[in-house]
Structure 1
Amino acid sequence: MTKLLSLGLDGAAWHKLDRMMADGKLPNLERMVEDGTRAPLETVLPPVTCPAWRCSTSGKNPGQVGVFWWLNLDRPTGRITSPTADSFDTADVWDYLSEEGRRCAVLNVPMTYPPSELDGVMVSGFGAPFEIDLDADSITHPPELQDRLEEEYDWQVGIDDVNDPGGVEEALDLIRSRFELLLDTLEDGEFDYVHLTVFYINVLQHHFGDGPETERGWELIDEYLGKLPDDLTKVVYSDHGHSHIERTFVINKYLIDNGYLSIESQAGDEVTGGIYTALKRVGISPRTAGALARRVLPEGLYERLVQSGYPIPTFELANRVNWEESDAVALSQGPIYVNRDRLGDDYERFRDDLKAELESVSIEGESPFDSVAYAEDVYSGDHLDEAPDLLLVAADEWEVYGGVTPSVIERQATSWTSGNHPIGVLLVHGADVTAGELQTRSILDIAPTVLRYLDAPVPTDMNGESFGEPFRDGLPERRTREPIAGGAGRDAVQDEELESRLEDLGYLE
């Protein structure tokens, strides 16, 4: 019989869920909240799916695991690389539980491809190839589980675009398949620890905000919450929260305008910049304009327009940066990398000045940033030197965009209407759980709490601290152990498929 279910709801935020519960739309979640213990959950920075899920399952901050965003920047070359599961320099809770003889089922966690060997089963989540090739590396452990996924659940890793006709229905089908696999896994009763992450509810929120499309997703999730055994102990949490986007700060345009970032100009930049500005004035977003242009322009002209310049989407930025002539470059959602080799002894002064400049930015009397932080104030660990030098945290209703547009301030630079927020949700529910509320906890606290609940020793390199307040009998006495070496040491590479999928989701628009 399963002793603990860890259920990840990507992007869940209490202020959104509370509103739907108040409207009577999430009765099963409402009951779980009334019977269980809830808390706000603070995530890592930037607050994003990668690396937040793997930070939650390892109990370590990005400076320890060595992955900071969906993409990493190689400073010596300015090359952007794509992490895989093996890029994370860490072991996870399932590795430690497996060593203790505890059977684990790890289902759909982003950035777990290729799957690791463990005492149990693993199904890789987002980051795995969308096209499942039975002759290539399997997305599952053991490999033969992949056949069952396709035959019984019509399993898909992801979909191309929720904005396409039928995209919302496809996203709902993905959510459905995840929960059907979960219910069957729980019914098998052979696993001590089961973790499922539901990723595509986050995608619906990004593109449709609080609209009916997203509500349908949450109502479907609530339906499945009602099918979970009441006596099963559940730790339900999100990797980050969500907040409505009103305006966008285009950080790389700011860096260009201030002489810190050099971009290769191409023929047609002024023309496409003018087209972009005209479309913006009539309320057409860049993504919608791009889709229209792709349909109506003569063959080849659209491609030439995209190649020619503005707007430069995030995925194209690496091909346009003159890194040897640049002092800094940024990625979406906050990371700023400084060219230490170019600046040499002037690095510290430049970083201090840039931080102060960004802190002084004021738009209509308000800052677009909640904070501008040094890397060492956000991260710790062996990979601190690889971290972005500065980190922007967007203020409420702002988004930090890593592409380039003609203006530093945009109303909507991407197709997103709702963006990531540092505060997510935590809910503990089950027969051995008391009703109540906790003060804000850290997402790094999940892993040590899981280990202690299952009476397994906690490795000494975990940042997080376990919490026992929700459990009537507390947690077993804390035992410690030496860490397991994690990750295969494989360097990140440029993964064109992953980057294409991230573009479809809006991360690299």
Structure 2
Amino acid sequence: MTAITKPRVLVLGLDGATWTLLDPLLAQNKLPTLGKFIQNGTRSLLRSCIQPSSEQAWSAFATGKQNGKFGLYGFYQRSKNSYALEYINASHRRAATLWRILSARGKKCVVVNVPLTWPVEKINGALVSGLMTPGLHSEFTYPPELKNELLRELGEYIIDVDIERGETGGESLDELAARVKRMSELQTRAFEYLLDQNADWDFGMLVHRAWGGVINDCFAYLDQCNARLLEKYADENTTVIILSDHGFGPLTHAVYLNQYFAQKGILAYKEQTGNPLSSALRAGVKRLNNPLLAAAKNKAFEIFPRLKSNLHYSMAYGNLDWTRTKAYAVGTMGNVYLNVRGREPEGCVEPDAYEATRDAVIAALRELIDPETQKPIFDFVYRREEIYNGDAVEDAPDVIGLIDGPYHVAAVDWRGANGAQKSVVEPNLIDLAPTILQLFDEAIPDDMDGRVLNEFLSRSQLAEYAPALHFENKMDGEYSDAEQKEIEERLAGLGYLG
């Protein structure tokens, strides 16, 4: 077979990896592949997006743009003209992905397990979707016939591991680690198979994922998977990029932000005293978390697919008095929406009082102090236009609080109360897409926000820009009731639901 001499780019993602986790493992020689890779290349911190969460961060990487252009601000977003929340997927993204741009320019791409790639898009090559895929019953591959081909070749496939089972099913950490490793092995084998089947590939990308108490053990295993991939596919014509989307750290404190807003007079409940229904719901949820009732709980969610979603929404927002609520928090990080008259269904903030109300919310977030440390909970608090720009800013939270500490914003109160080392400027996730295009000597769409990381490249050259690719997202990404239940289960297990 004729040797391939054209330039290639191989991207290996480690979801949630941070030097805080990796450096101790490197020092113990538990990541020899990554250690060798660093010795022969360059390492750096990589700045994530705001908020640093998988669905947003991998979209920032894939599009080379910030949130105000690709339009995603959390795993779920507010439905139009409603306070209800809906789960997002690739059909909600408003910008073209790197593999779509490369495909349009004749480059062959193989993409496996990148979060938020379902529903799958047509590319020149092969794609297997990742996080936010409903399940194996869905069309999770492009081309569609690849699904059965992979299942025949591998015998089985795992898109994601439901780590909630480790808490509610009596599963040990060793058993959880074994399942995560099995998932990673199957995904690595799928990637190898597709690279071999598409031998003339130009761009290949695989994202590895691991979580929680088994993350160190799993990273060591993933290092072995990467060793296999580098040995087989990384020759002198291949640029290899190993990157993460965001970091991981311990979450030891819950912040009941909407209760705090109620104390500050920013949010109001229909009933300020004891609520028998809320107490009953909390007691019921606690009983459902009993391992002995796990099977019954899962059966109930199977029979009534929207039960858990409705339960979560009812606990979080069902008792709010929207006519007196000026602002409320959504998600687990620090996204706050104002309740504006004419924009929200029962908005009470007059448009001419918008800025004054927003200033009050910002002041409240900045005044929120950890009673143990006497330090602010939120490191930074922004107005949306201070950090985002683009056509999708209108859907962004009005106020964004950033936390760099062990705090988890909880929407629901379940307690019962209401190479050679180089000195470089820190790169950003959005810089990778234009840099990869530069590696192919391809013009960079002029609406990308990222820059070319010439300081990392052996051959520096002036970037060439071209008009942005016309992009209209026509994908049908509506989840069925059953799919909604599966997505809810996975996100709850990963801690993305408050």
Considering the TM-score relative to the shorter chain, is it more than 0.5?
yes
Query: Which of 493, 496, 500 is the matching residue for 2:489?
Result: 500
> Which residue identity lines up with residue 214 of structure 1 in the other structure?
I
Taking a change above 3 Å as real, the CA distance of residues 269 and 185 of structure 1, as seen in their structure-2 partners, is closer
Could you tell me how far apart the structure 2 residues matched to 1:435 and 1:366 are? Answer: 35
Aligned partner of 2:380 in structure 1 is 371
Could you tell me how far apart the structure 1 residues matched to 2:410 and 2:277 are? Answer: 23
Aligned partner of 2:177 in structure 1 is 168
1:473 Cα offset (Å): 1.9
Could you tell me how far apart the structure 2 residues matched to 1:315 and 1:55 are? Answer: 32
Aligned with 1:127: secondary structure? coil
Taking a change above 3 Å as real, the CA distance of residues 65 and 145 of structure 1, as seen in their structure-2 partners, is same
Moved more, 119-128 or 486-495: 486-495
Aligned partner of 1:216 in structure 2 is 217
- What are the equivalent positions in structure 2 for 1:133-144 lying under 5 Å apart? 133=138, 138-144=139-145
Question: Contact conserved, 1:104 with 1:121, CA < 8 A, in 2?
Answer: yes
1:379 Cα offset (Å): 1.0
> Which residue identity lines up with residue 357 of structure 1 in the other structure?
A
- Identity within the alignment, %: 24
Could you tell me how far apart the structure 2 residues matched to 1:389 and 1:471 are? Answer: 38
Aligned partner of 1:455 in structure 2 is 441
- What are the equivalent positions in structure 2 for 1:215-294 lying under 5 Å apart? 215-227=216-228, 228-229=230-231, 230-231=234-235, 232-263=238-269, 266-270=275-279, 291-292=289-290
Is 1:121 the counterpart of 2:126? The answer is yes
- Which consecutive segments of 4 or more residues in structure 1 shift more than 6 A? 296-299, 491-494
Could you tell me how far apart the structure 1 residues matched to 2:332 and 2:162 are? Answer: 21
Aligned partner of 1:466 in structure 2 is 452
Taking a change above 3 Å as real, the CA distance of residues 21 and 101 of structure 1, as seen in their structure-2 partners, is same
Could you tell me how far apart the structure 1 residues matched to 2:405 and 2:411 are? Answer: 18
Taking a change above 3 Å as real, the CA distance of residues 42 and 408 of structure 1, as seen in their structure-2 partners, is farther
Is 1:390 the counterpart of 2:389? The answer is no
Is 1:27 the counterpart of 2:32? The answer is yes
Is 1:106 the counterpart of 2:111? The answer is yes
Q: Deviations over 1:88-144 (max 9, x none)?
A: 1111111111121111111111111111011111111111112425xxxx2111011
Could you tell me how far apart the structure 2 residues matched to 1:507 and 1:478 are? Answer: 39
Q: Deviations over 1:262-288 (max 9, x none)?
A: 445652545777x79xxxxxxxxx97x
Aligned with 2:328: secondary structure? strand
> Which residue identity lines up with residue 337 of structure 1 in the other structure?
Y
Aligned partner of 1:6 in structure 2 is 11
Aligned with 1:358: secondary structure? helix
> Which residue identity lines up with residue 361 of structure 2 in the other structure?
L
Please, which runs of 5 or more residues in structure 2 have no aligned partner? 302-310, 342-347
- What are the equivalent positions in structure 2 for 1:425-436 lying under 5 Å apart? 436=422
Aligned with 2:260: secondary structure? helix
Query: Which of 424, 444, 449 is the matching residue for 2:430?
Result: 444
- What are the equivalent positions in structure 2 for 1:290-329 lying under 5 Å apart? 291-292=289-290, 295=293, 313=312, 316-329=315-328
1:313 Cα offset (Å): 4.8
Could you tell me how far apart the structure 1 residues matched to 2:294 and 2:108 are? Answer: 55
1:489 Cα offset (Å): 7.0
Could you tell me how far apart the structure 1 residues matched to 2:114 and 2:467 are? Answer: 25
1:407 Cα offset (Å): 8.6
Larger RCO, structure (CA 8 Å, separation 6 or more): 1
Could you tell me how far apart the structure 2 residues matched to 1:81 and 1:298 are? Answer: 26
Aligned partner of 2:158 in structure 1 is 156
Aligned partner of 1:351 in structure 2 is 358
Query: Which of 94, 97, 109 is the matching residue for 2:99?
Result: 94
Aligned partner of 2:200 in structure 1 is 190
1:243 Cα offset (Å): 1.9
Aligned with 2:248: secondary structure? strand
- What are the equivalent positions in structure 2 for 1:9-88 lying under 5 Å apart? 9-74=14-79, 76-88=81-93
> Which residue identity lines up with residue 358 of structure 1 in the other structure?
L
Could you tell me how far apart the structure 2 residues matched to 1:216 and 1:296 are? Answer: 27
Could you tell me how far apart the structure 2 residues matched to 1:246 and 1:196 are? Answer: 31
Aligned with 1:42: secondary structure? coil
Please, which runs of 5 or more residues in structure 1 have no aligned partner? 277-285, 304-311, 410-428
Question: Contact conserved, 1:88 with 1:486, CA < 8 A, in 2?
Answer: no
Aligned with 1:240: secondary structure? coil
1:373 Cα offset (Å): 1.1
Could you tell me how far apart the structure 2 residues matched to 1:324 and 1:489 are? Answer: 36
Taking a change above 3 Å as real, the CA distance of residues 382 and 491 of structure 1, as seen in their structure-2 partners, is farther
Could you tell me how far apart the structure 2 residues matched to 1:40 and 1:6 are? Answer: 16
Q: Deviations over 1:206-264 (max 9, x none)?
A: x31xxxx2222011111122221353321111111112223221212212333333445
Could you tell me how far apart the structure 1 residues matched to 2:363 and 2:200 are? Answer: 55
Question: Contact conserved, 1:253 with 1:408, CA < 8 A, in 2?
Answer: no
Aligned partner of 1:338 in structure 2 is 338
Aligned partner of 2:308 in structure 1 is none
Q: Deviations over 1:35-79 (max 9, x none)?
A: 111111111111101121112110111111111110012474212
User: TM-score, structure 1 length as denominator?
Assistant: 0.81
Question: Contact conserved, 2:384 with 2:400, CA < 8 A, in 1?
Answer: yes
Aligned with 1:452: secondary structure? helix
> Which residue identity lines up with residue 354 of structure 1 in the other structure?
V
Could you tell me how far apart the structure 2 residues matched to 1:458 and 1:357 are? Answer: 42
Question: Contact conserved, 2:119 with 2:475, CA < 8 A, in 1?
Answer: no
Is 1:403 the counterpart of 2:412? The answer is yes
> Which residue identity lines up with residue 95 of structure 2 in the other structure?
T
Q: Deviations over 1:367-399 (max 9, x none)?
A: 111111111112110011110011111132222
Could you tell me how far apart the structure 1 residues matched to 2:491 and 2:321 are? Answer: 24
Question: Contact conserved, 2:94 with 2:471, CA < 8 A, in 1?
Answer: yes
Could you tell me how far apart the structure 2 residues matched to 1:361 and 1:16 are? Answer: 29
Q: Deviations over 1:335-362 (max 9, x none)?
A: 1111112201222111101101210122
> Which residue identity lines up with residue 347 of structure 1 in the other structure?
Y
Taking a change above 3 Å as real, the CA distance of residues 263 and 234 of structure 1, as seen in their structure-2 partners, is farther
